[in-house]
A = this chain, B = another copy of it.
Amino acid sequence: MQNPVFIPGPTNIPEALRRACDMPTIDHRSPLFGQILHPARTGVRRVLKSDSAEIFLFPSTGTGGWETALSNTLSPGDGVLVARNGMFSARWIDMCERHGLEMTIIETPWGEGIPADRFEEALTADTGHRIKAVLATHNETATGVRSDIAAVRRAMDAAGHPAMLFVDGVSSIASMDFRFDEWGVDVAVTGSQKGFMLPPGLAILGFSQRALEARATATLPRTFFDTRDMERGYAANGYPYTPAVGLMNGLNIACDMLLSEGLEAVFARHHRIAEGVRAAVAAWGLKLCAVRPELQSDTVSAIRTPEGFDANRIVAHAAEAYGVAFGTGLGAVAGKVFRIGHLGSLTDVMALSGIATAEMVMADLGLPVTLGSGTAAAQEVYRATRATALKDAA
């Protein structure tokens, strides 16, 4: 357990955050609790770049966050527009279907981003405004593809459509630029274990005023995920059931860390680290799943392996031989890609150890990779960008 992990979340947890989470029990009905709850919520709001989003924290996961988004705002039979371009968008679609929502699904190749133009067409065609919500997965963790949420918003505006915009930012928020207010997001969903660098266990949501208002008419059943109970609890310094105090304390400290570093610096750091990984991939003669540079995620790289080679062998061999965890391919790209997660608190040095390990693993398995080649390519990136980063900071 001494090596860093390179899965696309949960991330390596900084020591300060492990300690913040590992709290002795406090009375969650005492004023102490409010001193954790409210700053944590304010911190998240700032990380979302919002002035007004209402922040909800559930003892749950991103999946619970999706359910919170749907069940608080929609009713059976409501229309939902979404693109299916990866494992996580597919799962959210499945959840919608189980809740009896009427889906308009834009099938999109895995490796592509959300096709904003096709969203515009679908919304324009929906003259009766049957579609109540547009779902968008900001960063497809399975393919390492970042979609353009601003473009989705422009498409909605161009169509003059009143649907709400729900964004899954599980593997983007706090690592890549996310603009809740500017993009007109109505519900943003993330979890504790990605950009916030914490253990799993919290669903973290931002709701716009419109989303809050939608609760009055939404008839999907909800109790555990009812944001109105949360709201009443928060107003009384409390919680509708037993809160995960330690994780919330960790979230509070995580926001402090992110905001002290500066969000733009955090995003730039993720970009630097990702650029190194991408340089290594190129040096190995391999391709990313993301089909165009602007789609490449700064939190996870899904790397296509040669035709006929089972990419999962890389993950298994890395774990067994070198004690390093990479991500397997999921769903449609299972066996075709392996993933290097590079989000959260990662140094150049940690990234290089992952790259060097991947090289050994691929060589061990007979792939035509030159030892040291990816490492050298990443070293060049890190040396160069480090200098720039230092200059910018000065």
- Where the two chains meet, the residues of A that have a C-beta atom closer than 8 Å to any C-beta of B are 1-5, 7, 9-15, 18-19, 21-30, 59-64, 66-67, 71, 94-95, 98-100, 191, 193, 199-201, 220-226, 240-247, 319, 321-325, 327-328, 345-350, 352-353, 356-357, 359-360, 363-364, 370-373, 375-376, 379-380, 382-383, 386, 390
Contact = CB atoms under 8 A, between A and B. Distances in A.
A11 B370 CA distance: 32
A356 B379 contact: yes
Nearest to A346: B2
Nearest to A170: B242
B18 A22 contact: yes
B379 A242 contact: no
Among the interface residues A223, A226, A241, A383, which one has the most CB atoms of the partner chain B within 10 A?
Answer: A223
**How many copies are assembled?**
4
B63 A200 contact: no
Given A13-B24, A62-B241, 5 more contacts: A5-B27, A10-B242, A63-B223, A200-B243, A356-B356
Nearest to A3: B349
A356 B360 contact: no
Nearest to A246: B199
A11 B19 CA distance: 19
Contacts of A201: 59, 201, 244, 247
B372 A379 contact: yes
A122 to B, nearest CB: 24
Contacts of A193: 242
B372 A376 contact: yes
Nearest to A16: B1
A29 B347 contact: no
Contacts of A346: 2
Contact of A345 (B2, B4, B220, B356): B2
Among the interface residues A62, A191, A373, A376, which one has the most CB atoms of the partner chain B within 10 A?
Answer: A376
Contacts of A382: 360
Contacts of A19: 19
B356 A383 contact: no
A162 to B, nearest CB: 25
A200 B244 contact: yes
Contacts of A94: 223
A124 to B, nearest CB: 30
A60 B64 CA distance: 9
B347 A30 contact: no
Contacts of A100: 221
A390 to B, nearest CB: 8
A30 B325 contact: yes
Contacts of A383: 360, 363-364
A319 B220 CA distance: 41
24 contacts: A2-B15, A3-B349, A3-B350, A9-B242, A10-B28, A13-B25, A19-B19, A26-B325, A29-B327, A59-B200, A59-B201, A60-B60, A60-B224, A63-B240, A67-B224, A98-B222, A200-B242, A201-B247, A221-B221, A321-B386, A352-B357, A359-B379, A360-B383, A370-B376
Nearest to A76: B221
Return the 4 tightest CB-CB contacts between A and B, nearest first. A372-B376, A372-B372, A27-B325, A353-B353
